[in-house]
Structure 1
Amino acid sequence: MATGKRPRGELRQALITASFELLAESGLAGFSVAELARRLGVSTAAPYRHFRDRDQLLAAVATQAAGELAEAMEAAAADAGEDPVDRLAATAGAYVRFAAARRAGFDVIFARELRPLRDEALAEAGRKLMALLLDLARDAGHPEPADALRSIEQIIALAHGYVTLDTGDFLTGARVSEEDVATRATRAVATLLRGSLSSARAG
């Protein structure tokens, strides 16, 4: 357990970083600032010098998660090549990798319990993440906002489903690595997207 006094900015970031680990174990419902302080070796009052309350701390965690996820998705899309469908599908693999590493995803970034805060930093991070996905969806053949949003919904549902199956050990018998899971999610989304486009053109 870490002990000793930290500089103000360092403790703030340490609280956010340790929060990811605690969320992975307890989820949002079981998240405890007191337990977080204990793990960091600081007083139970120390976190409240940086965050007004538990929800404000969680909002900072969600803001960082949204920024990191957007960067990971953007990098994955860039690495996927020129095909717009492959670029969009690559975001599913990025989501799986991110959730495996951080044990946090849209369930934390867009958590219902944080919405009443109207935290501007979190709202802006969420907008940037969705703007990235919307741009990729439009490029992949969904120019209408409603169609693009529906496509994103399907991608996240599929990717998050793979994450849930993996973390729940459902895929253990198949002996797949986290990278295998990410690849499966990417391929499944690519198949879904191409099937959807073919159906639209045929109709």
Structure 2
Amino acid sequence: MVDNVYMTNAKGRPADTTRSRLVAAGVELLESDGLTALGVRAIARSAGVSHGAPRRYFPTHAQLVAAVARSGLDDLGTEIAPVLRDRSTPPRDRLVSAASAYIGFAQRRRAMFELMFRHDILVGSGADLRSLSLPMIAELHSVVAEFVGDQYSWTATVRFWMSIHGLAVLVANRALEPMAALIEIDVEALVIDAVDAVG
């Protein structure tokens, strides 16, 4: 097995691809087999490196798992940030689109979505995942503030995020399906209701 493979990055410096291979293998295992599959040996085997190789890049299991979670946060930010920043679109529409993207991410990538919010697993990893999540929250707040006309509307932002996150969890876990036997569940309408409740 190969432990160290080096390539040149865009700036002409050596880029350590073993680290990125480990993270990519972790993402793939997470999304195919769930959180319980994220063992160091399983990730190393999937990445095609020796079982000791991950320790050179991630001294603890928590650091390796946090790097996998960071990949998911990056992907979520890539989907949502452009929607929130689109000043040509009214704030209400941006909130609806961002909420729909958030729920869609949770639905498509349920295990990753779960990991990203498992603070009991990620705490102490030293990965500073807040450096990714706080800017997203700040962008969300700026759109909520624009929508409600109050720059101090942090309560509205939290209330909106709680509604959308709760809906995302219910949709991702298919928990709304039993209710569908009793009433028609329209997720898009629920998103719009959550947005309008903020305004």
**Superposition TM-score tier, normalisation by shorter sequence:** 0.7 to 0.9
RMSD: 3.2
**How is 1:158-173 mapped onto 2 (pairs within 5 angstroms)?**
158-165=167-174, 170=177
Distance of aligned partners of 1:125 and 1:102 in 2 relative to their CA distance in 1, 3 Å threshold: same
Q: Could you tell me how far 1:114 is from its partner in structure 2? A: 3.8
Q: Per the alignment, do residues 185 and 71 of structure 1 end up closer, same or farther by CA in structure 2, a change over 3 Å counting? A: farther
Residue number in structure 2 paired with 1:71: 78
Verify: 1:20 aligned to 2:22, yes or no: no
Local SS of the residue matching 1:117 = coil
| Per-residue CA distance 1:70-123 (angstroms, 9 max, x = gap) | 221122345695221111121122123333554455532232224531625312
Counterpart of 1:191 in structure 2 is 193
**Whole-Å separation in 1 of the counterparts to 2:66 and 2:2:** 26
| Pair 1:155 & 2:164 matched | yes
Q: Distance in 1 between matches of 2:84 and 2:188?
A: 11
Cα distance 1:163–1:26, how it changes in 2: closer, same or farther (>3 A)? same
Report runs of 4+ in structure 1 exceeding 6 Å deviation: none
Q: Is the CA contact 2:95–2:143 (under 8 Å) kept in the aligned structure 1?
A: yes
Gaps spanning 5+ residues in structure 1: where?
A: 174-183, 198-203
Per the normalisation by structure 2, the TM-score is: 0.75
Moved more, 132-141 or 79-88: 79-88
8 Å CA contact retained: 1:95, 1:105: no
Q: Which one-letter code corresponds to 1:40 in the other structure?
A: A
Relative contact order: is structure 1 or structure 2 higher (C-alpha 8 Å, sep ≥ 6)?
1
Q: In structure 2, which of residues 98, 101, 110 is the aligned counterpart of residue 94 of structure 1?
A: 101
Between the aligned partners of 1:100 and 1:20, the Cα distance in structure 2 is: 16
Whether the 8 Å contact between 1:96 and 1:162 is mirrored in structure 2 is yes
What one-letter code is carried by the residue in structure 2 that aligns with 1:150?
R
Partners of 2:158 and 2:53 in 1: CA distance: 41
Deviation at 1:147, TM superposition (A): 2.2
* Aligned counterpart for 2:147 among listed residues 140, 147, 166: 140
Q: Indicate which of 124, 130, 153 corresponds to 1:123.
A: 130
| Alpha carbons 1:38, 1:44 under 8 Å: kept | yes
Structure 2 gaps, min length 5: 7-14, 181-185
Q: What is the number of equivalent residue pairs in this alignment?
A: 184
Q: Report the alpha carbon displacement of residue 45 of structure 1 after superposing the two structures with TM.
A: 0.5
